[in-house]
């Protein structure tokens, strides 16, 4: 029995692999792109951690997301424990759904319009949207396809350019451009539903704010800095949001506008960690993830699911998540926890 990590980018996997090795936790990569699933077979026993990225198509892995959606259903249907499972993944691959979920939770977001249908639909929607605004793929990552539009003339030029980057499903968001008090955004990292630390990312160089060394090799300009002592009340609201949506590991990004308000705009459940930041904190997030998975695997070994019904497995996992996140027993009895 081992930990299986659902993934399509080995470079992003390496730090977690080293942390698991350091703790003596057996693990294997479950590489996903094109392939097959034996629907009449059973998945291997173990713990599963979904790290599939919505930006996989930008690396030539056009089938990874569709494959992962079906894989997660198969795993959960057999009662396997999946961290960042199907519910979390549906939010991960759609910024349109993220926006709606955040708003429903009472968390402030920039004004946004969902557009599906390509260049013509995008132009029609943009004509009535105040400038400046941002165009970004609903399914994206690493700032791919994100553009700041300051005039309709610029929009026409962009839409007529062969360099326009639209996602595979042609679903994009027009989003209010928040003028920040400083050219930075804050990213709050959570593991096991608990806040670990916050970092600030400098935005003056563009929208690629992936903190992984594989995305943005560390340099002397310190694009990413630790936001020490961050203890804003928004952390409690984020934790409640993660519980409600069964998201165990993620980074949540917000920007502080000149009006003094915080605007949350991205939930990244395939979050990566910057090695310089990790070296500055007492409890690195990578190690916390490895400990979370290792503890879940140890519990799974002690309480083998053989002969246990799927409904019982789902309830047992919900109870474990309740203990980890501090929800009430009543929440579990009433089925208000989302996930396996």
Alpha helices by DSSP H, 195-284 = 234-244, 275-280
How would you classify the pairing of strands 194-202 and 224-226? antiparallel
- What is the pTM for the complete model shown? 0.84
C-alpha neighbours within 13 Å on the C-beta side of residue 224: 25
pLDDT of residue 212: 43
The confidence score (pLDDT) of residue 145 equals: 82
CA–CA separation, 107 vs 262, rounded Å?
9
Give CA–CA dist 129/127, Å, rounded: 6
User: How many other CB atoms are there within 10 angstroms of residue 220's CB atom?
Assistant: 5
Cα(80)–Cα(313) distance, rounded to whole angstroms? Answer: 8
Domains by residue range for the chain, with CATH? 2-91+288-333 (3.40.50.20), 112-176 (3.30.1490.20), 180-280 (3.30.470.20)
Res 169: pLDDT: 86
Q: Give the pLDDT means over successive 10-residue stretches in the chain (340 positions).
A: 95 95 98 94 97 87 92 97 97 96 98 94 92 92 83 91 82 94 94 97 63 47 86 97 97 96 95 94 97 97 63 59 52 38
**Per the structure block, which two tokens stand in for 119?**
């260049």
3-state secondary structure of 134: strand
| Rounded distance between C-alpha atoms, residue 30 and residue 336, angstroms | 30
Cβ contact 172:136 at 8 Å: yes
Say what the pLDDT of residue 303 is. Answer: 83
139 vs 201: CA distance, rounded Å: 21
Q: Which among 282, 284, 283 has a CA at the least distance from the CA of 273? A: 284
């Amino acid at each position: 029995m081992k930990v299986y990590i659902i993934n399509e980018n080995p470079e992003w996997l390496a730090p977690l692999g080293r942390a698991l090795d350091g703790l003596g936790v057996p693990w294997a990569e479950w590489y996903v792109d094109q392939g097959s699933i034996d629907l009449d077979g059973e998945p291997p026993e173990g713990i599963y951690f979904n790290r599939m990225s919505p930006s996989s198509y930008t690396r030539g892995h056009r089938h990874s997301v569709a494959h992962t959606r079906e894989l997660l259903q198969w795993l959960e249907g057999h009662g396997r424990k999946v961290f960042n499972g199907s519910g979390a993944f549906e939010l991960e691959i759609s910024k349109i759904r993220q926006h709606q979920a955040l708003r429903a939770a009472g968390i402030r977001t920039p004004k946004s319009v969902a557009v599906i249908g390509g260049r013509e639909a995008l132009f029609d929607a943009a004509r009535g949207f105040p400038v400046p605004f941002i165009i970004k793929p609903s399914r994206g990552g690493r700032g791919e396809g994100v553009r700041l539009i300051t005039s309709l003339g610029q929009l026409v030029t962009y839409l007529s350019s062969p360099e326009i980057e639209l996602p595979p499903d042609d679903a994009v968001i027009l989003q209010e451009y928040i003028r920040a008090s400083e050219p930075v955004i804050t990213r709050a990292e959570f593991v096991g539903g608990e806040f670990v630390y916050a970092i600030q990312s400098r935005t003056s160089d563009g929208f690629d704010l992936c903190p992984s060394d594989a995305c943005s090799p560390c340099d002397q300009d310190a694009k990413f800095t630790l936001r020490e002592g961050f203890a804003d009340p928004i952390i409690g609201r984020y934790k409640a949001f993660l519980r409600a949506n069964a998201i165990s590991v993620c980074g949540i990004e917000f920007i502080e506008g000149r009006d003094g308000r915080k605007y949350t705009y991205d939930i990244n459940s395939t979050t990566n960690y910057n090695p310089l930041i990790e070296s500055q904190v007492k409890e690195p997030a990578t190690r916390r993830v490895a400990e979370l998975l290792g503890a879940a695997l140890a519990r799974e070994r002690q309480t083998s699911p053989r002969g246990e019904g799927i409904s019982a497995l789902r309830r047992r996992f919900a109870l474990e998540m309740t203990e980890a996140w501090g929800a009430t027993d009543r929440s579990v009895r009433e089925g208000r926890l989302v996930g396996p």
